[in-house]
Protein backbone atom coordinates (compact mmCIF):
# COMPACT_ATOMS: atom_id res chain seq x y z
CA UNK A 1 0.00 0.00 0.00
CA UNK A 2 1.32 3.46 -0.92
CA UNK A 3 1.47 6.05 1.84
CA UNK A 4 1.14 9.80 1.47
CA UNK A 5 4.05 10.34 3.88
CA UNK A 6 7.71 9.62 3.13
CA UNK A 7 10.94 9.95 5.11
CA UNK A 8 12.16 13.54 5.03
CA UNK A 9 8.72 15.11 4.41
CA UNK A 10 7.61 18.10 6.47
CA UNK A 11 4.28 17.25 8.08
CA UNK A 12 1.72 18.88 10.34
CA UNK A 13 0.04 16.90 13.12
CA UNK A 14 -3.74 17.23 12.71
CA UNK A 15 -4.90 15.22 15.75
CA UNK A 16 -3.71 14.31 19.21
CA UNK A 17 -1.74 16.03 21.97
CA UNK A 18 0.76 17.56 19.51
CA UNK A 19 -1.91 18.96 17.17
CA UNK A 20 -0.62 21.85 15.07
CA UNK A 21 3.09 21.01 15.30
CA UNK A 22 5.07 21.04 12.05
CA UNK A 23 8.09 18.73 11.94
CA UNK A 24 10.16 16.36 9.79
CA UNK A 25 9.43 12.64 9.31
CA UNK A 26 12.39 10.59 10.57
CA UNK A 27 11.19 7.05 9.79
CA UNK A 28 8.11 5.39 8.27
CA UNK A 29 6.69 1.95 9.12
CA UNK A 30 4.40 1.10 6.14
CA UNK A 31 3.33 -2.29 7.54
CA UNK A 32 1.94 -0.59 10.68
CA UNK A 33 0.81 2.67 9.00
CA UNK A 34 2.91 4.67 11.46
CA UNK A 35 5.72 7.19 11.31
CA UNK A 36 8.22 8.71 13.73
CA UNK A 37 8.15 12.50 13.59
CA UNK A 38 10.84 14.71 15.10
CA UNK A 39 9.75 16.15 18.47
CA UNK A 40 6.22 14.69 18.29
CA UNK A 41 4.72 12.05 20.62
CA UNK A 42 7.74 12.14 22.94
CA UNK A 43 7.84 9.50 25.69
CA UNK A 44 10.17 9.10 28.64
CA UNK A 45 12.06 5.82 28.92
CA UNK A 46 13.80 4.75 32.12
CA UNK A 47 17.11 3.02 31.40
CA UNK A 48 19.52 1.05 33.54
CA UNK A 49 23.24 1.77 33.36
CA UNK A 50 24.96 -0.23 30.62
CA UNK A 51 28.08 -0.10 28.45
CA UNK A 52 26.63 2.52 26.11
CA UNK A 53 25.03 4.69 28.79
CA UNK A 54 27.10 4.26 31.96
CA UNK A 55 24.96 6.54 34.10
CA UNK A 56 21.47 5.36 33.09
CA UNK A 57 18.53 7.63 33.81
CA UNK A 58 15.52 8.93 31.93
CA UNK A 59 15.72 9.30 28.14
CA UNK A 60 13.15 11.12 26.02
CA UNK A 61 12.44 9.51 22.65
CA UNK A 62 9.86 9.87 19.90
CA UNK A 63 7.20 7.16 19.60
CA UNK A 64 5.44 6.28 16.31
CA UNK A 65 2.28 8.20 15.40
CA UNK A 66 -0.44 6.97 13.02
CA UNK A 67 -0.09 8.46 9.53
CA UNK A 68 -3.78 9.39 9.40
CA UNK A 69 -2.91 12.07 11.97
CA UNK A 70 -0.31 13.63 9.65
CA UNK A 71 -0.71 16.02 6.73
CA UNK A 72 2.13 16.89 4.34
CA UNK A 73 3.19 20.55 4.33
CA UNK A 74 4.22 22.08 0.99
CA UNK A 75 5.71 25.56 1.32
CA UNK A 76 3.94 26.74 4.47
CA UNK A 77 0.50 25.23 3.90
CA UNK A 78 -0.71 21.72 4.76
CA UNK A 79 -2.16 19.94 1.76
CA UNK A 80 -3.63 16.66 0.59
CA UNK A 81 -1.52 14.48 -1.69
CA UNK A 82 -2.40 13.09 -5.11
CA UNK A 83 -0.50 10.91 -7.58
CA UNK A 84 -0.29 11.08 -11.35
CA UNK A 85 2.00 9.82 -14.10
CA UNK A 86 4.65 12.31 -15.25
CA UNK A 87 4.47 12.77 -19.03
CA UNK A 88 8.24 13.16 -19.47
CA UNK A 89 9.53 10.26 -17.38
CA UNK A 90 6.47 8.00 -17.20
CA UNK A 91 6.91 7.61 -13.45
CA UNK A 92 4.28 8.17 -10.78
CA UNK A 93 4.90 11.42 -8.87
CA UNK A 94 3.20 12.96 -5.84
CA UNK A 95 1.63 16.40 -6.15
CA UNK A 96 -0.09 18.90 -3.90
CA UNK A 97 -3.84 18.99 -4.42
CA UNK A 98 -3.95 22.56 -3.10
CA UNK A 99 -1.27 24.13 -5.32
CA UNK A 100 -0.80 21.47 -8.02
CA UNK A 101 2.99 21.45 -7.72
CA UNK A 102 5.00 18.24 -7.63
CA UNK A 103 6.53 17.04 -4.37
CA UNK A 104 10.11 15.84 -4.57
DSSP letter string over 60-82?
Answer: EEE--EEGGGEEEEETTEE--EE
pLDDT in tens, 10-57: 999 999 999 999 999 999 999 999 999 999 999 999 999 999 889 999
- Quote the CA–CA distance of 65 and 19 in Å, as a whole number: 12
In a domain, 43, yes or no: yes
In a domain, 62, yes or no: yes
In a domain, 55, yes or no: yes
CB 97 within 8 A of CB 88: no
pTM, 2 dp: 0.85
pLDDT in tens, 28-39: 999 999 999 999
| Domain boundaries, position 66 | 10-78
In a domain, 90, yes or no: no
In a domain, 47, yes or no: yes
In a domain, 24, yes or no: yes
- Quote the CA–CA distance of 84 and 95 in Å, as a whole number: 8
Query: What's the CATH number where 21 sits?
Result: 2.30.30.30
Number of domains making up the chain: 1
In a domain, 39, yes or no: yes
- Quote the CA–CA distance of 56 and 47 in Å, as a whole number: 5
Amino acid sequence: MKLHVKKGDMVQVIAGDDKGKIAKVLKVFPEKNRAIVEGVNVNKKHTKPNARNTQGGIIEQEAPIHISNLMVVVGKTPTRIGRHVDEKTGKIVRYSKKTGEEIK
